[in-house]
Structure 1
């Protein structure tokens, strides 16, 4: 495209850096020869034009990330900051400059795509940092007005080298420099997040300390010069573009995302560091997303998945609701210690041996015994039997007694108020796991409530309990996975734990085929073997060999059936790998 010449070459004094047009000069032929010469009015500041999106979420590809960020956050930017692709120090400094002037920052190796982007932005000036260079494009002609030692013109784009001196660069930008901000390796983006937009705060990598040398053998060095760096090129008066307060940019904090993060901040978007790419991961990331109140979320890089995934994860984080132990993910970083049983009867486990307040206190005591045995957060938990296998068919003929959800609610809510996690255990008899799970939807709608499937008590159409151990196929489990994952996503709930009980391979022969791709859920296989520790450890190893890709595992300690029952110290030191969910029955 044919673009207008930059006004930097025809105006004198302070010029306006801008993203919109300055007032046009009055044509010479319209001026009266008799009129007294009038002073040339100083052009007012110009602003950049930023882009808004109606999409709930956008994910920018890791490849060409800096360029994609410019295309996403800016409609027009007559000034573009250019960094050296091979020099991290240049990229740090360029990011500082971008925030100071409210301009996108690009890399000098983007080739033809860079030229196309400069045209799209209608860029008049390119401010190069370090050794960054803007190569001439086919058809470009050097403008004769450009002074070689002041400004380089590539076609109709004026290239202005940024001074290496902070004060000189700040003067060029029309501002003052604050104290440099150290940016440690791996924390460059985190440092950038602390820089105020519109402020020139140089980001600097820490200088490596060197051992003192012998003055007698040290090479001679030139005396430092006291002369200030000269800069004959000028940039216009600056004014930041209007901000994007309803947009939140997410970065993992990786240094490769620095320039994109700087461009987002320069456009006035909020910025949050989300290590790993899942905004649900920690209390800090949940607070950052929920506190931003953004209508549009932009993920900087492939770590954030696709736009749909980022959209629902960000919507979940925006609720600000956290799981016991912090964040909205069940794992990693947490280990659960649970009481197992039913509040209806003590015959089914220790959970029902006392009243509600005492059960909550007992769960906390069991968990406290594991504090200090792991670096992870220990979360007290309860596994409540919601449907219990029965010897007779019952009125509905399914050989399972479903306790009313409202009968379980007092204990479930008391656990939640105490910061404890709850798992509802299903023993379906001839009913389906999915059918029974749906009966407890009101309780599963609570953020701290997950689900457990117990195949031991899953019967075929003509089977009864205590004749043979039940089993379930991966296909049946996946019906529950799909329903519970959709249920969780649609309600913007934190991730839910789905426990699969097993003490024989045949109970879930196809456990490797269980769908673990739904990140709304964390799927855990729970080894329920009882008896001597040698047999239990053998079962533990066999289950692991059968399903080596399962990441999360549970272990059960039986008060009466184990010989002997492991202590907390023994559970954490003798069970390998260390279980993530430990229950007591």
Structure 2
């Protein structure tokens, strides 16, 4: 069944109501491998279901495997960023020029460069507005233990406040990223509640530096489990309900099979939108294969793609991938990160 036929059916469903939803979706499943969306209800606080499903189909980019779009999944609450906008984020830490662009430039220079990337993506995909973002590593893994024995350093509040101030210069949202070291998300995420309860602040998690086996960060690749991710999404969901916030976006980095375990057990919520972000660097062919093997093959909800201003130029053909190339991927990434 072609996409325009699907959209027509969905528009018809929206007009006639929920009564015929099950029977019509059943026909769609037989022809398109689409599965019914669970927990959709008729909640007025949720987004328009027809438009949401239409955009999911567009992101799937004509994938015929049945993996994308991800069904079933709950409809998000109103105010959701995804899939209505593409997030384009600059990554890093204000203390380090090596961790990414956030620590490399002055605020004015940063915004000049970020606006250039925003324009590039708007030109490549004129149908999807861009939401600029600053992705700040708020908990940084260390190769030596802190006083409490944990191999991570929590950024002081004045540094996070500085990032929020820089974000306000261009109406950007902010991600606070956690590299747990020997700590856990159960400990680190609640400590950021003062910021996560803000409507413009979202969460990131870096499994590479989650050292569950006790290794020193950076010596081996770490990992997180579905249980870790579910703790984060459940916690964020609670904040959204408690403070009556728009949905949170939760970005989880990944570039190996073992970095995210038991993906099939990850739970989805109307209050949280999960992005699995392809975090590997290298030549275009390598990045595409990493995306295919570890993002495409294990669907969660939405996908992201990371670009490195330095590391992506270390291998032939010594260039970064262009937005037009990335938009050819299946599914199309809806979160783009620059380091």
Q: Structure 1 length as normaliser, TM-score?
A: 0.45
Give the equivalent residue in structure 1 for 2:319: 564
Tell whether the 8 Å contact from 2:136 to 2:163 is kept in structure 1 after alignment: no
Aligned pair partner of 1:552 in 302, 325, 328: 302
**Correspondent of 1:580 among 324, 334, 339:** 334
Q: Distance in 2 between matches of 1:409 and 1:511?
A: 34
State the Cα distance separating 1:421 from its structure 2 match.
1.8
CA distance in 2, matches of 1:278, 1:528: 36
Which residue, 72, 87, 93 being the options, matches 1:336? 87
Whether 1:536 aligns to 2:287 is: yes
Q: Relative to 1, partners in 2 of residues 1:256 and 1:523: Cα closer, same or farther, differing over 3 Å? A: closer
RMSD, matched Cα = 2.9
**Larger helix proportion, structure 1 or 2?**
2
Q: Give how far 1:434 is off.
A: 2.5
In structure 1, the gaps of 5 or more residues are 1-185, 189-251, 258-274, 283-308, 314-326
Tell me the distance in 2 between the aligned counterparts of 1:417 and 1:332.
24
**Paired residue for 1:358?**
109
Tell me the distance in 2 between the aligned counterparts of 1:384 and 1:487: 20
The answer as to whether partners of 2:251 and 2:275 remain within 8 angstroms in 1 is: yes
Q: Report how far residue 487 of structure 1 moved.
A: 1.4
Distance 1:487 1:395, change over 3 A: same
Task: Find out whether 1:381 has 2:133 as its counterpart.
Answer: yes
Deviation for aligned residue 1:432? 0.5
Answer yes or no: is the 8 Å Cα contact 1:405–1:443 preserved in 2: no
Kindly state the Cα deviation for residue 508 of structure 1 after the two structures are TM-superposed.
0.9
1:515 aligned residue: 267
Q: Which residue of 1 aligns with 2:150?
A: 398
Give the deviation of 1:406 after TM superposition: 2.8
> Is the aligned partner of 1:279 residue 2:45?
yes
Once residues 407 and 280 of structure 1 are traced to their aligned partners in structure 2, the CA distance between those partners, rounded to angstroms, is 35
Regions of 4+ moved over 4 Å:
275-278
User: For each residue in 1:18-64, what CA deviation from the matched residue of structure 2 results, as whole angstroms up to 9, or x when unmatched?
Assistant: xxxxxxxxxxxxxxxxxxxxxxxxxxxxxxxxxxxxxxxxxxxxxxx
1:342/1:253 CA distance change after superposition, 3 Å: same
Whole-angstrom CA distance in 2 between matches of 1:427 and 1:187 = 43
Pairwise CA distance, 1:276:
7.8
Larger radius of gyration: 1
Per-residue displacement from partner, 1:452-509 (whole Å, max 9, x unpaired)? 1100000125311222100111112211221111112111011000111110010112
Q: How many angstroms does 1:256 deviate by?
A: 4.4
Aligned length: 280
Name the residue aligned to 2:219.
467
CA shift for structure 1 position 280: 4.9
